[in-house]
Structure 1
Amino acid sequence: MRTNATLLTAGIIAILLILALGAGCTSSAPGGNGTPAAGATTAPAAGANILRIATTTSLENTGLLAELERVYENETGMDLQFIAQGTGQSIDSGRRGDVDLVLVHAPALEQQFVDDGFGIDPRCIAYNYFIIVGPESDPAGIANMTPVEAFRTIYLAGTNNTPGVAFVSRGDNSGTHNQEKVLWEQAGYNYTTEILDSGAWYVEAGKGMGDTLILANEQQAYTLSDEGTFLSFADRLTLVPVIAEGAELLNRYSAIAVNPTQHPGVNAQGAADFINWLTTNETKAMIGEFGAAEFGKPLFTPLYPPECTEPPFNCTCTGNVTG
């Protein structure tokens, strides 16, 4: 009897061990508890009802993203998950396959993203303008200059320690920061060797557009901003637009899907559907009206053919994509 009881007990223990090992195999490794390991890409499975979009802080700061999200989710049931960061960071997210789509505003970086095979089906959506804002007293005296003349004058005043002259840069490889670097180059300066570390007058914020405007306001400095974000923050600022005209200040926004050939886990169909929705006349009309009631003027101007295909835009703003 004692031998039978011993065998029975041993059998029960063996069964329990087998069940415990089986349960352990269902845990995710190496994170455990069903959570991915740190740094792992969590791409949705094909057909998942989630669309991950890397986009710019300027679109978030204006409130347009929230409106697009509200309308699209109500119409489709798709869960839009926005990651607002600089355009350079957004495109890097697309290169890694961390998102399904990018909504950005740096044409040169966008073209490289497509040329390198990571982005497909680019569609330009809308535009507004960058503006140079600064103290109402305009200590560098740039009013009525062209944007390039203004940057040259700010540099000379800043490096000569002119009282009250400072410039706050996004400093984050965003679309705005890239446009700033273009303006320094057009003004005749090498950004890396002549602008960076050129003195206390030049400050890198390393932040989004809204935070950069707040910092520039605190320091009563000049900065480059997209018009939409400036208008949405204007009630918190004493800075004013000093220069708001010039072809060099054009600010074009585009949607680009991440290439599923490079990253098979992305929601390619979801990205295509969202791009197609953005390029409908109904959505463009909504974008073209956004902000008008609150700010007295729309924050964005939608792009339509054939205007979008011609200079200075040179992009595609219509035509369905299939995913």
Structure 2
Amino acid sequence: MSQRLTGSLLGLALATGATVATVAIGSPSSAADPEPFVVVGTSDVFDSFLTQTVLEPGFEKAYPQYDFQYVSRGTGAAITYAQAGTADAMIVHAAALENQFVAAGYSDEEYGRAIFWGDYVLLGPADDPAGVLASAPHDIAGAFARIAAAGAAGTANFVSRGGTPGTTVQEHAIWALTTGTTTCTVSAANGGGASPSTSTGSCANPIALPSWYHATGLTQGPNILNGDVCNYDGGGCYVFTDRGTYNYRASKGQITRLGIVTRDNDAAAPGGVPLLINSFHAYALSPEKFADSPNVDINNEAALLFLDWVTSPETQQAIGAYLNESADPPFLPSAAPSLTLDDPLPTTVKAGERISVGATLANVTPGTPALDGVLVKLLATPPGDPTGAPVLVSAGTTDGEGHVTIGYRPQADATYTLDVGPITKVEDATLDPVFGDLLAPTSLTIGQVEVQGRLQDVARSISGGRLTLTGVLAPVVPAGDTGQLVLLAAQGQRELKPVGTQVVRAGAKKFDVTVRLGAGTWRYRLQYVNVGVIRTAQTSVRSVTLS
């Protein structure tokens, strides 16, 4: 963003209660001052301290010319903030709202980039008046129904953030799957789903909430603390939240009464496994969308650098390592798909033999559709030249389950890699507009295969003191290279030694070797040599008598 917007950015943040990680005010920056780069986004990544621990310091270290500033908002409010032209990039987690942002032309790219995923959890008190932990530890819709029943009986409360944060949008999707609870229908513009209400039909504005349901309007961390204090009649507060924020706040001793009572929705439960999956995407704002707004200057260069940085393997690893002391990380990398090999490659094949490479390409975020129709390339690199450019030798396209089979006849020793370029994928076609995302390229080194050379159809002829050998060799010598035919011979039981060589030019398929030997009986063997390209081929030892 341009420096001229910094003052209005601060004023807007203070007026709305937004959290700004770093704010620069004052005169325009000098050449030595970092340039402001503003990211507006979900409070999940801020209240969990992922922003302060990984994103902000990591990006500023990689690009010290920028001052990373994060404005913490719920997803719906973050989108509104971005659409005002007061941010350069955005991190959000509500597909039913992101699709509208993209359709309106605010994204610089076709869709947002997948950056990481986590999970939602339900927190409850130790006495668990709704009996969630015992009856619905892996059934979030069932847990909500039990809380609603206990709330109606005056023994439980549900503490929601309200509004349109990504967490509330997902909460509404869950309420739509519950039974026995009076709900109203949330509009598609607000993410869809349902909300507890005293009346049915379309939700009013504001929603007529039952007495046991509380919409605080807080960001993620403060909302958990509100439920932990539970200053509501009847007590027994439950909070639906992301596990990253809960883990961080609990690790700091800030949460003393609440613990996880439901997580990891069972596949057989309503909504299945995806119902508690929390998927995050990052967007660069489109400068073209604000072409007619002279007071808006989107820092598109910084935004695209950030998208490339946050989806890089190094940053993805750092995200996955955050809060991972118990090998149960709350944020898992999702920028690139997984690529797994069906079976190991053979270490050696005979020249002319075909190898079959089977692999599966999959989006690592649970609940996403198969990656079908994706081109997977098979690349080869000579083992003696690991820094050389890989060469495309074959390719295949994934089927409806993301599986691909690639056939190839190796012509030389090589290390093989499967390579997949950037992927554009519609992840939810049931939404209108559809929701899609961008996945980063990925590759997988699958092993080294050596090619055993072959000498076939070897025939000999004798003329005077000359021995002539003809036949077919495989594989052919690669372009730009040469091989050698070496005839080893000896009389009696002496050691076979080279008695003649012949250069094999690139592309040659047949050979014709003639060597003059003295009179007598000779033992001989022919070799096809191309060091670093194939395993040496050789005939068996044979005998010939020359006059």
- Match for residue 438 of structure 2 among 299, 310, 316: 316
Deviation at 1:149, TM superposition (A): 1.1
Match of 1:204 in 2: 215
* Structure-1 separation of matches of 2:105 and 2:282: 15
Structure 1 residues 157 and 85: CA distance shift in structure 2, 3 A: same
> What amino acid does structure 2 have at the position aligned with 1:169?
S
Match of 2:161 in 1: 170
Match of 1:24 in 2: none
| Contact 1:120–1:259 under 8 Å retained in 2 | yes
Deviation at 1:35, TM superposition (A): 6.7
* Structure-1 separation of matches of 2:71 and 2:366: 31
* Structure-1 separation of matches of 2:228 and 2:88: 36
| Contact 1:126–1:254 under 8 Å retained in 2 | yes
1:257 aligns with 2:250: no
- Match for residue 277 of structure 1 among 303, 306, 309: 309
* Structure-2 separation of matches of 1:307 and 1:136: 39
Match of 2:259 in 1: 240
> What amino acid does structure 2 have at the position aligned with 1:211?
P
Alignment deviations for residues 299-320 of structure 1 (CA, whole Å, 9 cap, x no partner): 3110131433876233423159
SS of residue paired to 1:316? strand
* Structure-2 separation of matches of 1:207 and 1:310: 28
Deviation at 1:200, TM superposition (A): 2.2
* Structure-2 separation of matches of 1:239 and 1:160: 21
* Structure-2 separation of matches of 1:228 and 1:35: 32
| TM-score in terms of structure 2 length | 0.48
| Contact 2:48–2:221 under 8 Å retained in 1 | no
Q: How does 1:156-167 map to 2 (within 5 A)?
A: 156-161=149-154, 163=155, 165-167=156-158
| Contact 2:277–2:366 under 8 Å retained in 1 | no
1:75 aligns with 2:62: yes
Alignment deviations for residues 11-31 of structure 1 (CA, whole Å, 9 cap, x no partner): xxxxxxxxxxxxxxxxx9xxx
Alignment deviations for residues 244-264 of structure 1 (CA, whole Å, 9 cap, x no partner): 111211000110111111124
| Contact 1:54–1:99 under 8 Å retained in 2 | yes
Match of 1:4 in 2: none
Alignment deviations for residues 186-212 of structure 1 (CA, whole Å, 9 cap, x no partner): 215324572643432111111011111
- Match for residue 108 of structure 1 among 85, 90, 96: 96
| Contact 1:308–1:316 under 8 Å retained in 2 | no
1:298 aligns with 2:329: yes
* Structure-2 separation of matches of 1:177 and 1:184: 10
> What amino acid does structure 1 have at the position aligned with 2:320?
G
Alignment deviations for residues 73-93 of structure 1 (CA, whole Å, 9 cap, x no partner): 122111111101111111111
Higher helix share: 1
Match of 2:43 in 1: 57
| Contact 1:134–1:239 under 8 Å retained in 2 | yes
Structure 1 residues 35 and 273: CA distance shift in structure 2, 3 A: closer
Deviation at 1:156, TM superposition (A): 2.1
Structure 1 residues 74 and 158: CA distance shift in structure 2, 3 A: same
Q: What's the RMSD between the two structures over aligned residues?
A: 2.8
Structure 1 residues 202 and 178: CA distance shift in structure 2, 3 A: same
Structure 1 residues 215 and 83: CA distance shift in structure 2, 3 A: same
SS of residue paired to 1:187? coil
SS of residue paired to 1:119? coil
* Structure-2 separation of matches of 1:63 and 1:310: 22
Match of 2:197 in 1: 194
Alignment deviations for residues 91-115 of structure 1 (CA, whole Å, 9 cap, x no partner): 1111111111111111111111111
* Structure-1 separation of matches of 2:127 and 2:44: 26
> What amino acid does structure 1 have at the position aligned with 2:117?
Y
| Contact 1:126–1:253 under 8 Å retained in 2 | yes
* Structure-2 separation of matches of 1:204 and 1:183: 16
| Contact 2:141–2:175 under 8 Å retained in 1 | yes
Higher strand share: 2
Match of 2:227 in 1: 216
Give % identity.
Answer: 27
Match of 1:97 in 2: 85
| 5+ residue gaps, structure 1 | 1-27, 29-33
SS of residue paired to 1:200? coil
SS of residue paired to 2:57? helix
* Structure-2 separation of matches of 1:148 and 1:100: 37
Runs (4+) off by over 6 Å: 34-39
* Structure-2 separation of matches of 1:226 and 1:180: 11
* Structure-2 separation of matches of 1:198 and 1:218: 21
Match of 1:10 in 2: none
SS of residue paired to 2:438? coil
- Bigger shift: residues 110-119 or 297-306: 297-306
| Contact 1:140–1:154 under 8 Å retained in 2 | yes
| Contact 2:39–2:90 under 8 Å retained in 1 | yes
Deviation at 1:173, TM superposition (A): 1.4
Which of the pair has the greater relative contact order for Cα pairs under 8 Å at 6+ separation? 1
User: Which entry has the higher C-alpha Rg, 1 or 2?
Assistant: 2
Alignment deviations for residues 192-234 of structure 1 (CA, whole Å, 9 cap, x no partner): 5726434321111110111111110111400101000001111
- Match for residue 151 of structure 1 among 137, 144, 166: 144
* Structure-1 separation of matches of 2:213 and 2:310: 38
| Contact 1:172–1:207 under 8 Å retained in 2 | no
| Contact 1:87–1:174 under 8 Å retained in 2 | yes
- Bigger shift: residues 140-149 or 219-228: 140-149
| 5+ residue gaps, structure 2 | 13-23, 185-193, 199-206, 231-235, 266-272, 292-296, 338-360, 369-426, 428-436, 443-547
